[in-house]
Amino acid sequence: MTTKHTEVVSHDDDKPAIEQIDNIDTELPPHPDLEDGSPDKKKKTANNQLDEAQEILARSGHVEYTQEDNKRVLRKIDIFVCIPMCIVYCIQQLDKGAVAQGAVFDLRESTGLKGSQYSWLNSIVYISQLVCQPLSSYALVVFPVKYWVMFNFISWSIVTICSAAAKSFAGLMAARLLLGAFEATILPSFVFITQMWWTRREQSYRTVAYQIANSLASLFGPLLAFGVGHVKSGIKPYQGIFICMGGLSLAMVPLVWYLLPNSPTTAKFLRKDDDRLIALERLKENQTGTKSSTWKWNQVWETYRDPKTYMWAAMYLCTATPSGGIGSFSGLILKGFNFDSFQTTLMHMPTGVIGILTLWIGIWFTNKFKARWIVILIITLAPIAGATAICRLPRDNTAGLMASFYIAYILAGIQPLLYSWANLNAAGTTKRVVTFSTMFVFQCAGNIIGPQVYFEREAPYYYTGLYVDIGCWSVLVLLIIAMRIYLAQLNKKQAAKRAAIGMPAELKDMSIMTIQEAEVYKKELTEHMKVNGLNQAKLYENAFDDMTDFENPAFIYVL
């Protein structure tokens, strides 16, 4: 069999760094994962399946590229993948928050809501997400990720518009139930996409990017509601808000559809063969592959035999419970510091800035010092101190209470940083999806529990809720330390596995180094392996096999 063969090579410094050699017909060697070149005799890997990325690289030849080439391809990926993710995440929060904006006007009065019915309109979204997680996880693996995201994006946009027709508690509950079902997949999908496109050194900043986009919705939402709320044209203000939010969401569908690709192996913006090869070659260091479209039950069973799964789940429960509680009652807490409604609104605005600054500073330190656990632990200590001070300070000390509240709101950085840490420590398509979906279930549970411990009878102090939050953060500190110890033990086991099969026992994780650091270490490692007679090809032979982190000896856990 013959085919067009493309080889990407590096040249002398005075020549272009990448040159594509076209129109060379060569005899294609047998695929390394096939026995005797037979297409139906597959290599017996842990998954018994070839990865699309591995097949493309195997058939396309050797790939070398410069830092300039890497930056050029990365810039394309950020434009065509990160930007639509930020748009969708911002729109999702706008649509989810439409009911809160409507409540500022006449939603409760117009629909006859009584007692805790308004609270249930918020809780039902997360209950729906809990119920829909298994189906969402399965669909995320078996369907192309772009089409799955777009289906849900379009669906919840329509639901938001149709919410304007709801004139009772039952109608609003039905609409919010559907909204939660369609939005359930977005965060797991985005974590999955992040792992698919960026190296581990790059993932943290992209995760922060769409988390910041989520925060921007808290600025745009009130502005949109303020304008729409003044419109008097035969519909009630809350109905206009639903229609406006849903209409804006639908208007963004064509742009997101045009930009967002399915995977590096099929992305249209990687038109040149060398760009696609570079995009794939970059991911070898991750040792996590790109995407397999087969649901693998062996990876499901491994996920629930892995202690990390339960530790991440507990960490998310301990994070989301305070976040859900303070997120719902922060305005009422502030108002209890002797502010009126308008002052409360103004005093609440800095919390968004605090969240953004915490994220950027936290990510900078994690990438600078190559340690996630200690940064998250230090950030967690801040809300413990802030919430404790709120409970202890007298109510006439407004300045002290405000300072304590802002210190407590550093909590906004914990959850996104946990996302980025957890993302780096799982491999295998099905295992990654199931792991994060499990974490997301516990996150939803925390968001449901959090507001329930803020008792109306304790307003405006809410001591029970604050004490529960302090307890959750304290347990989170212990879990972070335990996770760090466990990951270090797993790395020792990985080193023993590598030594047993002729690989270097002690490896540094190039995927979290800077590009310059990785290049220097790669040269050192190559020389070390030559001197010791080790096979360098073993380092990346499983990089695209869709093996789990337990199965792939080259996988390195990030502390």
Between 446 and 512, whose confidence is greater? 446
Residue 87 has pLDDT above 90, yes or no: yes
Q: Is 75 helix (H, G, I), strand (E, B) or coil?
A: helix
- Per-residue model confidence (pLDDT) at position 344: 66
Between 471 and 19, whose confidence is greater? 471
Residue-wise pLDDT for 273-287, tens only, equals: 678 888 877 776 655
**Residue in the structure block whose two tokens are 């990407």:** 8
Residue-wise pLDDT for 128-159, tens only, equals: 888 887 787 778 777 888 999 999 999 999 99
Choice among 22-31, 166-175, 273-282, 407-416 with the minimum mean pLDDT: 22-31
- Per-residue model confidence (pLDDT) at position 13: 37
Residue 522 has pLDDT above 60, yes or no: yes
Same fold? 67-286, 295-559: yes
Residue 495 has pLDDT above 90, yes or no: no
Q: What is the mean pLDDT of residues 508-532?
A: 66
User: Taking a C-beta distance cutoff of 8 angstroms, is the pair 211, 232 a contact?
Assistant: no
Residue-wise pLDDT for 405-420, tens only, equals: 999 989 888 988 888 7
Residue 56 has pLDDT above 80, yes or no: no
Question: Which residues are registered as beta bridge partners of 27?
Answer: 2
20-24, 79-83, 413-417 — which one is most confidently predicted on average?
79-83
* Topology (CATH level 3) of domain 67-286: Growth Hormone; Chain: A; (1.20.1250)
Q: What is the dihedral of CA 119, 121, 125, 126, to 10 degrees?
A: 20
The phi, psi pair for 157, rounded to 5°, reads -65, -45
**Helix-helix angle 186-197:200-228, to 10 degrees:** 140
Choice among 16-20, 369-373, 424-428, 526-530 with the minimum mean pLDDT: 16-20
Angstrom distances, CA of residue 506 to CA of 493, 514, 524: 11, 19, 13
**Residue in the structure block whose two tokens are 């802002």:** 406
CATH architecture of the domain 295-559 equals: Up-down Bundle (1.20)
Q: How far apart are CA 7 and CA 21, in angstroms?
A: 6
Choice among 48-57, 80-89, 427-436, 500-509 with the minimum mean pLDDT: 48-57
- Per-residue model confidence (pLDDT) at position 378: 95
- Per-residue model confidence (pLDDT) at position 162: 92
Q: Is 399 helix (H, G, I), strand (E, B) or coil?
A: helix
Angstrom distances, CA of residue 471 to CA of 175, 380, 452: 35, 12, 15
- Per-residue model confidence (pLDDT) at position 8: 38
pTM of the model: 0.70
Name the average pLDDT for the chain.
77
DSSP symbols for 233-298? SSS-HHHHHHHHHHHHHHHTHHHHHHH--S-TTT-TT--SHHHHHHHHHGGGGGTS-S---S--HH
User: pLDDT grade, residue 82 (50/70/90)?
Assistant: very high
User: Taking a C-beta distance cutoff of 8 angstroms, is the pair 149, 185 a contact?
Assistant: yes
Residue-wise pLDDT for 445-494, tens only, equals: 898 888 778 877 787 788 898 999 999 999 999 999 999 999 999 999 98
Convert 332-396 into a string of H (helix), E (strand) and C (coil): HHHHCCCCCHHHHHHHHCHHHHHHHHHHHHHHHHHHHHCCCHHHHHHHHHHHHHHHHHHHHCCCC
Total residue length of the chain: 559
Convert 505-534 into a string of H (helix), E (strand) and C (coil): CCCCCHHHCCHHHHHHHHHHHHHHHHHCCC
Between 533 and 487, whose confidence is greater? 487
Q: What is the mean pLDDT of residues 286-302?
A: 68
- Domain locations in the chain as residue ranges: 1-62, 67-286, 295-559
User: Taking a C-beta distance cutoff of 8 angstroms, is the pair 198, 143 a contact?
Assistant: no
Choice among 90-104, 218-232, 490-504 with the minimum mean pLDDT: 218-232
- Per-residue model confidence (pLDDT) at position 23: 33
Residue-wise pLDDT for 183-240, tens only, equals: 888 888 888 888 788 887 787 788 888 888 877 777 777 777 777 766 767 788 888 8
Residue 259 has pLDDT above 60, yes or no: yes
Q: What is the mean pLDDT of residues 253-257?
A: 94
Q: What is the mean pLDDT of residues 426-440?
A: 81
- Per-residue model confidence (pLDDT) at position 531: 55
Helix (H) or strand (E) holding 406: helix 398-408
- Per-residue model confidence (pLDDT) at position 541: 53
Residue-wise pLDDT for 322-332, tens only, equals: 987 787 677 66
- Per-residue model confidence (pLDDT) at position 441: 84
The phi, psi pair for 268, rounded to 5°, reads -70, -25
Percent of the chain's residues with pLDDT above 70 = 76
